[in-house]
Structure 1
């Protein structure tokens, strides 16, 4: 009778302890979640950045963003989530940099066009005054 009672007592306490240890180990192994949001943000930024202007003005930044996104996808496949998150964030930053470089180049082009227009107007004013 004592053995039966001890056996039941041991079983009733062992299962919760082992369950707790199992879930603690499981949580410890997957402490870094899959970077779903970071990957989505990187892909969105890259799609937004891929256009004629960025390809012309910032090809290196676009290529870097694409490469880092591919490396992030590979890291996810290997369940290296911290590395994947870092690479996805870098890919997003590179894509945004490409957009900024292209925007700057387009703005500089617009400034030059305005300066040329101003110069033409000045010349026309000077000609009109000299008549």
Structure 2
């Protein structure tokens, strides 16, 4: 509740968090790219890697940069698991994982976590 009140005073923000369910820990060092989708247009607006807690050091978007609309987060799952020496098939079952979602109210905090293994993933709107 306090986080949403703070977000509404200073504008909303978009954050993510990646958990490696294969190893039961945060997915440290996973590359994440954020795109804004407008019809057939796909514009990259951020690129980063997760920290040791599986989070990004700063919001992907915040304040006036977060606008209502459609966004897509792309997580480089294959590269992450290969760096951990996980034996993956060629091609891997999951290469990159794209999550497309909508932001209706840009004054709120949108948290989009990814729980991932080499063969499955899930997401939800977090807090």
Rg larger for: 1
Q: TM-score, normalised by structure 1?
A: 0.25
Q: TM-score, normalised by structure 2?
A: 0.26
Structure number having the greater helix percentage: 1
